[in-house]
Amino acid sequence: MHSYLKHYIDGAWVESEGGTKHAVINPATEQAVTEITLGSQADVDKAVAAARRAFESFSRTSAEERAALLDRILVEYKKRANDIADAISLEMGAPVSFARTAQVGTGIGHLMAAAKALRAFEFSETIGNSIVVHEPIGVVAMITPWNWPLNQIVSKVAPAIAAGCTMILKPSEEAPTCAMLFAEVMDAAGVPPGVFNLVNGDGPGVGTALSTHKGVDMVSFTGSTRAGIAVAKNAADTVKRVHQELGGKSPSLVLEGADLARAVPGTLMTVLMNSGQSCIAPTRLLVPKALQAEAVAIATEMMKATQTGDPTQEGRHIGPVVNKAQFDKIQGLIAKGMEEGAKLEAGGPGRPDGVETGYFVRPTLFSGVSNDMTIAREEVFGPVVTIIPYEDEEDAIRIANDTDYGLSAVVFGSPEAIKRVAPRLRAGMVYVNGGAPNPDLPFGGYKQSGNGREQGKYGLTDFMEVKSMVGALA
């Protein structure tokens, strides 16, 4: 078993003050593989104090100094890419091939995008006889999830560094080792002491301590909507900024005339590639009623052909979901779908045939789903897709928007149809004819999917305050 029992505070690995040990479980074997220390209030206080001290000098560094620091972090990150991928595969179950390319690759993209945005950013603007400037917001607490662990860490750390902020990271206790390795990357790159700090912990402990702390100026949180609400409430008493990227229940609209042979596999692949554990996964596949049977045939074949397997092995299979709680939740929602009358086309309850150990979920497809069914409304976070038939374009738009969430949407169709439909979708991101996330573009959602944006220029501005120097040029 690997042991990472120290926290990274003020440029050094330090013992916890009153923390408790926590075992990290491999979801493929159900065995403990790592132990960490869940931190204490004292650990958080120490990290916040270090970040506040470091802010005094780091906030005054030049944009080029910070861009050069991001460049050095990228160099060190690439050196540890395989180690990070192995840790992600071991602790959250992503197949190692996918972990090396997608999971680790997103971190590279965010570091490059942040440096690019920083070098192009205009920190001051003249308005009449006054000057408006952007300044770093201060000390940022970062609370990140397990599903894309390095993606969500780097998408926060990189723009915070670029803005001139200092930070305390609390990674998910479900997949913490990649964060510990990232702390080693930051140390090797020469990040000044106190600029980046890491305190392991769970939400009720370290998460609450950070979100309520009067020495923290901003909380950047990624996770469930339920947990995001708790963070916002905890932060309210100190009136700190709260940036949230929360849940999703994304639609994929296949419009009349779209190529089903491209749209259906494209939608399913986006759901399956991380065992459904992606906030933007388009799990609601909306198709014209007259084409439902054809869409079902294509989707069923693909779902039945999808293999599950050992995440440490190379290949195109999918791995388990992250833990027993997630497995049980998914099983409950599959059962609910069957109970409410959705037609099961592939997969279903239980583990795949012949699998007795690990939190593996059968790739599952429902058809004939109505948007009021539980399976169409709750975020499953597993390899489960629902096909929802619609009457016409207006009906498709209504169904797509009929959700508490608004993180993303996908639209397949002609350029003319896309121009009509995409602007009417209540989502922070619309992927046209598939597409892929771009680290230069803003990432974030509407409604209960959160507020604020990450990535590129917009991610940079979300870590800044705006100051008016009135009459400065008079």
Return the pLDDT at 103.
96
- Distance of alpha carbon 46 from alpha carbon 297, whole angstroms: 58
11 and 148 co-located in one domain: yes
The one catalytic residue among 91, 174, 178, 279: 279
What is the separation of C-alpha 448 from the centre of its chain, rounded to a whole number of angstroms? 15
Is 178 a known active-site residue? Answer: no
Return the pLDDT at 71.
98
Return the pLDDT at 274.
96
Residues 332-369 pLDDT 10s: 999 999 999 999 999 999 999 999 999 999 999 999 99
Residues 192-247 pLDDT 10s: 999 999 999 999 999 999 999 999 999 999 999 999 999 999 999 999 999 999 99
The one catalytic residue among 91, 174, 245, 379: 245
Residues 394-436 pLDDT 10s: 999 999 999 999 999 999 999 999 999 999 999 999 999 988 8
**Angle at alpha carbon of residue 168, lines to 167 and 172, rounded to 5°:** 135
Pairing between strand 450-451 and 241-245? antiparallel
Return the pLDDT at 474.
80
Query: 461: which strand partners?
Result: none
Residue 444 covered by a domain: no
Return the pLDDT at 435.
82
- Distance of alpha carbon 225 from alpha carbon 404, whole angstroms: 10
Return the pLDDT at 15.
98
Tokens of 76: 């060190």
Three-state secondary structure call for residue 9? strand
Strands (E), 223-338: 241-245, 251-254, 284-288
CATH number of the domain where residue 83 is located? 3.40.605.10
What is the separation of C-alpha 88 from the centre of its chain, rounded to a whole number of angstroms? 14
Is 279 a known active-site residue? Answer: yes
Length of the chain as a residue count = 474
237 and 99 co-located in one domain: yes
259 and 242 co-located in one domain: no
- Distance of alpha carbon 9 from alpha carbon 14, whole angstroms: 7
Average pLDDT, the chain: 97
CATH number of the domain where residue 350 is located? 3.40.309.10
User: Count of domains in the chain?
Assistant: 2
Residues 274-294 pLDDT 10s: 999 999 999 999 999 999 999
200 and 324 co-located in one domain: no
| Residue with the two structure tokens 């600029």 | 195
149 and 182 co-located in one domain: yes
Residue 474 covered by a domain: no
Q: Rounded mean pLDDT of 66-78?
A: 98
Q: Rounded mean pLDDT of 153-161?
A: 98
Query: 330: which strand partners?
Result: none
Return the pLDDT at 436.
85
Where would I find the H helices in 240-365? 260-272, 292-305, 324-339
Return the pLDDT at 465.
98
465 and 414 co-located in one domain: no
Return the pLDDT at 213.
98
Please give the biggest Cα pair distance in the chain: 78
- Rounding to the nearest 10 degrees, give the CA dihedral for residues 228, 231, 237, 239: -60
- DSSP characters for 199-249? ----IIIIIHHHHH-TT--EEEEES-HHHHHHHHHHHHTTT-EEEEE----
325 and 412 co-located in one domain: yes
Residue 194 near residue 186, CB atoms below 8 Å: no
Task: With CA atoms as reference, report the closest residue to 165 among 203, 191, 202.
Answer: 191
- Distance of alpha carbon 296 from alpha carbon 443, whole angstroms: 31
Q: Tell me the residue range of the domain where 429 lies.
A: 251-438
115 and 133 co-located in one domain: yes
99 and 78 co-located in one domain: yes
Residue 108 covered by a domain: yes
- DSSP characters for 113-131? HHHHHHHH---EEEETTEE
106 and 223 co-located in one domain: yes
215 and 76 co-located in one domain: yes
